[in-house]
Structure 1
Amino acid sequence: MKNVFTALLMLCIVATSAQEINTEIITEDGRQMLVGQINLEGFQTEPYRNWFQNGQNNYGVDQTIVELFKEQLQSYHIKLFLGTWCGDSKRESPRFIKILEAADFPMAQLEIVALDYRKGHYKKSPTGEEKGLNIIKVPTIIFFKDGKEVNRIVERPLESLEEDMAQILLKKSYTPNYAY
């Protein structure tokens, strides 16, 4: 009986701590946006599919540069903060995902968080994944190694996503836009 109770308790804890993925809200003016944790499937629904697929289809990954950091990338955890309402996020996020795919990055090590833009919720997620990370512009791509932030790309790359990633992953000097 004790084992059954313990199993039920664990199941309840898991169920209540599970977060919804791909939560969509509709603003007062009828605009749709994703908020909170999202996965790649979230980009396959309308109205996100159009800009995401176009962004991926129209971007040519510089595979030569990707090969320089492909091996190092595997040991990183990445958090991508974006706004499905934001032009910079709509441009850079599909490109970034395409680069990760070209590098055979284990997508389980990628956390994608969509932030809100409504008054009172600006650049926040429903469950606060951005807290303490100084997210001032989106997209913000944060590279973590061994649980510590190594560096980030903020809003847009300085050179190209591949070149900026190479600088970060190969431990070269790199200062992102809007450095704090």
Structure 2
Amino acid sequence: MKSVLATVLLISSCMVFSQEFNQEVTLENGKTFLLGKVNLDGFDSDPYKIWYQQGHKSYTVDETLIKLIRKSLKGHQIKLFLGTWCGDSKREVPRIIKILETANFPMKNLEIVALDRREGLVKTSPGGEEKGLNIIKVPTLILLKNGKEVNRIVESPIESLEEDMVQIILGKPYTPNYATLSKTE
């Protein structure tokens, strides 16, 4: 009996703490957005695939810098916060994914989180993945090594996505956009 109870409790707790991917919220005006953890399949459904596929297909990756990125990104993890309702995210996220794919980055080391836009919930997620990370603009790409933040690209790159990524992963001085803002501003 104890083992049955333990099994039921284990399954229940897993269901409570697991979050499904690609949850969608529909606003009163009928517009939708993704919320919470997202996998690449989330960008293959309407209305997201329209901007995602077009942005992915049209972006030309800097092949010279990809070689450096491919070599230097080993051992890194990436957290990508976005809003599928945000123009900057619609522009940059397909490009970021294309760069990572071209660099053969292991996608298991990429965590994508779509944030809310509703009043009182702006830039939050159901799982709280953004907590303590000072996400003030989206998209925000955070590069981590051994679980610690190395640096981030906020909203848009300073030079180019590839150049900014190289600066960060090679440990060169890099100051992201909005570095002086706090979440309360």
Place the TM-score, normalised by the shorter chain, in its bin: over 0.9
Secondary structure at the counterpart of residue 69 of structure 1: helix
Secondary structure at the counterpart of residue 152 of structure 1: strand
Gaps of 5+ in 1: none
1:70 aligned partner: 70
Deviations 1:112-156 (A, max 9, x none): 011111111111112211111111100000011111111000000
Q: Does 1:37 align with 2:62?
A: no
Q: Distance in 2 between matches of 1:60 and 1:172?
A: 24
Number of equivalences: 180
Conserved 8 A contact 1:69-1:170: no
Q: Distance in 2 between matches of 1:8 and 1:123?
A: 34
| TM-score (normalised: structure 1) | 0.95
Matches within 5 A, 1:54-93: 54-93=54-93
* Structure 1 residue 34, shift from structure 2 partner: 0.5
Conserved 8 A contact 1:51-1:90: yes
Q: Distance in 2 between matches of 1:88 and 1:166?
A: 21
Conserved 8 A contact 1:65-1:162: yes
Q: Distance in 2 between matches of 1:59 and 1:13?
A: 42
1:96 aligned partner: 96
Secondary structure at the counterpart of residue 9 of structure 2: helix
Q: Does 1:106 align with 2:100?
A: no
Aligned letter for 2:88? D
1:169 aligned partner: 169
Q: Distance in 1 between matches of 2:115 and 2:8?
A: 34
1:122 aligned partner: 122
The alignment yields a C-alpha RMSD, in angstroms, of: 1.2
Q: Distance in 2 between matches of 1:9 and 1:136?
A: 38
Deviations 1:1-44 (A, max 9, x none): 55454444322222221112101011111111001111100000
Aligned letter for 1:168? I
Q: Distance in 2 between matches of 1:126 and 1:29?
A: 22
Q: Distance in 2 between matches of 1:19 and 1:68?
A: 34
Q: Distance in 1 between matches of 2:62 and 2:88?
A: 20
Q: Distance in 2 between matches of 1:10 and 1:122?
A: 33
What is the identity percentage for the equivalent residue pairs of Structure 1 and Structure 2?
59
Q: Distance in 2 between matches of 1:179 and 1:113?
A: 21
Conserved 8 A contact 1:80-1:140: yes
Deviations 1:143-175 (A, max 9, x none): 111111110000000010000000001111110
| TM-score (normalised: structure 2) | 0.93
